[in-house]
Amino acid sequence: MVRRYHKNRIISDTEDSSNDDVQCNDDDARLSGKLNSGGERQWKIPTATRNFEPRVIYYIDLNNGVQEASGLSRNSCPTSVFEYFFNQELVEMIVNKSSKYRKKQGFTKVPYNITVADMYCAIAIIIYMSIVHLPTISMYWNTKPMYNFQFTRKIMSRDKFLRILRFLHFSDEDNDKINRKNIDATCKIQPVIDMLLSRFQSAYRPGRNIVVNESLMLWKNRLPFDECAPNERATFGLKTFILAECETGYVYNLKLYSRQLLRKLNSEPLGASGSIVLHLTEHLLQQGRTLFLNNYHSSPALYEIIHKNGTNVCGIVRLKRKEMPYYGVIAKDINRLEKGQMLVRYNGVVAFCLWKDKKLVPTLTTVHTPCMVLSTNIDQITGQYRKKPNVVLDCNIYMSGANQIHQILQKHLSINKSIK
């Protein structure tokens, strides 16, 4: 089967532009998934007299940062911060669900009862285990001098901790079977995710620059919603789509990947890659933020929708993504590019910039007029500062916020849960 790409017409500014209103209507129809097969997107070539002028939306959210209603501040101690996110309501919910599951399994005697204090102690031990790594769980209660960890023995016995792990539950067992067939395989942990996200969103509000990216947490056990990413260091694990602040890496929203979620998003006009961005950013639109995306999410249609919703957007894009400048038309121009040069096309509110370095770097933006600027990198041959497109420089700076999340995840990682 041969894949065919629609030819998106490229015109210069010297051509007749009397059909601008018609073209705008065609774009709107395409964004809603109702464009007829005869429509085409016009990408213009910048000239010396006319270039792309971005319609920058100014940032107006003055309520960013730590929220006063949360009661948190710079002077808050780690215990206060932890208790805000893992509050009494969340821990009581975990205790109630675990107790209900324990009784359903036939363990109704008093020694098996779990209290809120017991659950807090168990969470403390799990955090401690992620910092101090041992081959098995039982070694944390070993009395030999080599493994004499008094912290775990003082707050809870080994048998009680193992009982809590055995009956740990986050959802209603009666509804899990129905939900797993009809809704989502993540229903067993979704209540905890929803409560934690609510606390994260009420504690802090991101600033001007935000990023949407994927994150993969290492997990080698069997799950119906695990993911395989051969190019990642953690090949198997739990994949999440995250919305984070660029400067701090603070996660404001996330969606846990599952096949049911993928099928649901694929049925929407923008597909899974574009629809997930709109779901994650729904509470941060219309305030002039700048959103940075990787090549999995970027597309001209998505950029136009986000810009109409009062948000600037910029990021890397796949060269053969739908509605991009037709590769066959600009192929000759690409072949003429030398290292360090760039090619620019624009259409409406979106500009396409293709920069040739060691490989081609295609980008889309609604906030830049693509041009070459000096970077902080020095050319080893000439000894001068290298020039890069301003779009590429901003992507390198602000998309690194997602990398901070991966570093934090790896710092306290516990993968020996199943070894007793």
**Tens-digit pLDDT string for the chain (420 aa):** 444 444 454 444 444 433 333 333 333 333 334 333 333 568 889 988 889 999 999 999 989 999 999 999 988 999 999 999 999 999 999 999 998 888 888 887 767 788 999 999 999 999 998 888 888 899 999 988 888 888 999 999 999 999 999 999 998 877 666 555 556 677 888 899 999 999 999 999 999 999 998 887 776 666 766 666 666 666 677 888 999 999 988 999 999 888 777 778 887 888 888 999 999 999 999 999 999 999 999 999 999 999 999 999 999 999 888 888 876 678 888 888 898 899 999 988 999 999 999 899 999 999 999 999 998 888 888 888 889 999 999 999 998 766 666 655 544 555 554 444
Q: What pLDDT is recorded for position 208?
A: 95
Q: Is residue 165 part of a domain?
A: yes
Cα→Cα distances 93→53, 88, 256, 316, Å = 53, 8, 21, 42
Cβ contact 217:198 at 8 Å: no
Whether residue 327 sits in one domain with residue 228? yes
Nearest Cα to Cα of residue 305 among 275, 263, 284, 272 = 275
- 117, two tokens: 């204090």
Cβ contact 188:171 at 8 Å: yes
**C-alpha to C-alpha distance for 110 and 90, rounded to whole angstroms:** 23
Whether residue 275 sits in one domain with residue 142? no
Q: What pLDDT is recorded for position 171?
A: 84
**C-alpha to C-alpha distance for 178 and 171, rounded to whole angstroms:** 12
Nearest Cα to Cα of residue 152 among 119, 122, 193 = 122
Cα→Cα distances 201→70, 195, 254, 317, Å = 10, 10, 11, 29
**C-alpha to C-alpha distance for 12 and 29, rounded to whole angstroms:** 24
Whether residue 214 sits in one domain with residue 190? no
Please identify, among 154, 173, 204, the residue that sits at the C-terminal boundary of a domain. 204
Q: Is residue 27 part of a domain?
A: no
Whether residue 238 sits in one domain with residue 168? no
Q: Is residue 211 part of a domain?
A: yes
Whether residue 139 sits in one domain with residue 191? yes
Whether residue 216 sits in one domain with residue 199? no
Q: Is residue 69 part of a domain?
A: no
Whether residue 217 sits in one domain with residue 175? no
Whether residue 393 sits in one domain with residue 259? yes
- 278, two tokens: 């709109």
Whether residue 213 sits in one domain with residue 195? no
Q: Is residue 59 part of a domain?
A: no
What one-letter code names the amino acid at 366?
Answer: T
Cβ contact 325:5 at 8 Å: no
Cβ contact 202:186 at 8 Å: no
Please identify, among 182, 204, 226, the residue that sits at the C-terminal boundary of a domain. 204
Whether residue 220 sits in one domain with residue 285? yes
- 143, two tokens: 């009395």
**C-alpha to C-alpha distance for 24 and 265, rounded to whole angstroms:** 26
Q: Which residue has the tokens 């067992």?
A: 173
Q: Is residue 34 part of a domain?
A: no
Q: How open is the CA angle 320-322-326, to the nearest 5 degrees?
A: 55
Q: Provide the domain count of the chain.
A: 2
**C-alpha to C-alpha distance for 39 and 22, rounded to whole angstroms:** 10
Burial 340-360, CB ≥16 within 10 A → b, else e: eebbbbbbbbbbbbbbbeeee
Q: What pLDDT is recorded for position 96?
A: 93
Pairing between strand 209-218 and 290-293?
parallel
Q: Is residue 40 part of a domain?
A: no
Q: What pLDDT is recorded for position 333?
A: 85
**C-alpha to C-alpha distance for 396 and 173, rounded to whole angstroms:** 45
Alpha helices in 288-361 (DSSP H): 300-308, 327-336
What one-letter code names the amino acid at 81?
Answer: V
Domain membership of residue 133 as a residue range: 78-204
Burial 75-108, CB ≥16 within 10 A → b, else e: eeeeeeeeebebeeebbeebbebbbbbbeeeeee
Q: Is residue 222 part of a domain?
A: yes
Q: How far is it between the farthest Cα atoms of the chain?
A: 86
The helix (run of H) or strand (run of E) holding residue 401 is helix 401-411
**C-alpha to C-alpha distance for 396 and 389, rounded to whole angstroms:** 11
Whether residue 261 sits in one domain with residue 285? yes
Which residues lie below 8 Å from residue 342, measured CB to CB, with a gap of 6+?
Answer: 353, 354, 355, 356, 370, 372, 389
Q: What pLDDT is recorded for position 225?
A: 64
Whether residue 274 sits in one domain with residue 405? yes
Please identify, among 150, 184, 204, the residue that sits at the C-terminal boundary of a domain. 204
Q: How open is the CA angle 283-288-291, to the nearest 5 degrees?
A: 70
Q: What pLDDT is recorded for position 405?
A: 67
**Residue 180: CB atoms within 10 Å:** 15
Residue 15 phi, psi (nearest 5): -75, 165
Cα→Cα distances 325→6, 12, 349, 365, Å = 9, 13, 15, 14
